[in-house]
Amino acid sequence: MEETRKGSEEAKSFPRSGGLFAVLREEMRLRNYSNKTYKAYKSHLLEFTRYISPRHPRELNEQEIRDYLLHLIHDRNFTSGTISQVISAMRFLYVELYKRPFAIAGIPRPLKGQKLPVVLSLNEVKSIFASLGNQKHRIMLMLVYSAGLRVGEVVRLKPEDIDSDRMMIHVHDGKGKKDRYTVLSEVVLEGLREYWAAYRPKKWLFEGQSEGKPYSIRSAERVFEKAAAKAGIIKAVSIHSLRHAFATHLLEQGTDIKFIQELLGHRSVRTTEIYTHVSKKEIGQIRSPIEWIIQPKGTKTK
């Protein structure tokens, strides 16, 4: 009984050392938040508690929390996306843990600018694949592009997720803890069979150096970075650019945007609509007015 009371008091006080983050992890697990989100929230709240030390977060009022956010914007040059994540972490702290929603109720989220993704052309994607001599690395990147996978999704694939009868890939626990199916290409299936014969993976489709562990996200990112550099790609791209290319190329080929939304696992079609801004399907049909004045070389005069 004494131990129960003691544990309850510790949880109530949320000390800044280990206690706060132990409770944070527990509460986020109960709400089915991902470990990635927990780590992000923990990082932001750790920085927050260090900044206000020796004061406790419970002691701050709304204006003092605003002042901290303004410090991150003006002094630390945090982006609107990062500030929005900091606010999410602080909302969880004050609303879910401290039950003090009034402390943060009036704090607005910053307006988020819309940045368009950098899109690789078909030839650029082809050149990236061609630059890879390692069979495992090549098929991994081909899977990312051919199925529109996130890097965290491709490294967590298991052999049984490849459904060759239905020509589908079962993606488990995607963003937002959502499962979905996406397309399995015939070309990729052939490559996977060759890869399987050579590597014989057990638990994970792409296994890391440690037995029973999946290939790491950072290792997959490095594979792409080296391949892109070798292929001579000068655009500011990452492995996620293959997912952007998948969506944009499908759109340019006439695939309905609702199908693309399902394949990507987007909650709203509005998220998928960003690819309409980078597709050359419509923009590519428009001629610049300068061509009415100066004709490109090789164009016959009418």
The one catalytic residue among 44, 243, 244, 249:
243
Is the bond preceding 159 in cis, omega lying within 30 degrees of 0? Answer: no
Is 115 labeled as catalytic in the residue annotation? Answer: no
The angle that helices 35-52 and 80-91 make with each other, rounded to 10 degrees, is 90
276-282, Cβ contacts within 8 angstroms, sequence gap of 24 or more: 276/251, 277/116, 278/116, 278/117, 278/119, 278/244, 278/248, 279/248, 279/251, 279/252, 280/252, 281/251, 281/252, 281/254
Among candidate residues 150, 156, 244, 249, the one labeled active-site is 150
The 3-class secondary structure across 232-269, one letter per residue, is CCCCCCCCHHHHHHHHHHHHHCCCCHHHHHHHHCCCCH
**Active-site pick, 42, 100, 175, 226:** 175
175 is catalytic: yes
Catalytic residue list contains 243: yes
What are residue 289's phi and psi, to 5 degrees?
-65, -20
Task: Please say if 277 is a catalytic residue.
Answer: no
240 is catalytic: yes
* Dist. CA 163–CA 189, nearest whole Å: 10
Rounded Cα gap, residues 218 and 160, in angstroms? 24
Does residue 266 have an active-site annotation?
yes
Query: Is residue 247 within 8 Å of 260, Cβ to Cβ?
Result: yes
Catalytic residue among 66, 170, 180, 240: 240
Catalytic annotation, residues: 150, 175, 240, 243, 266, 275
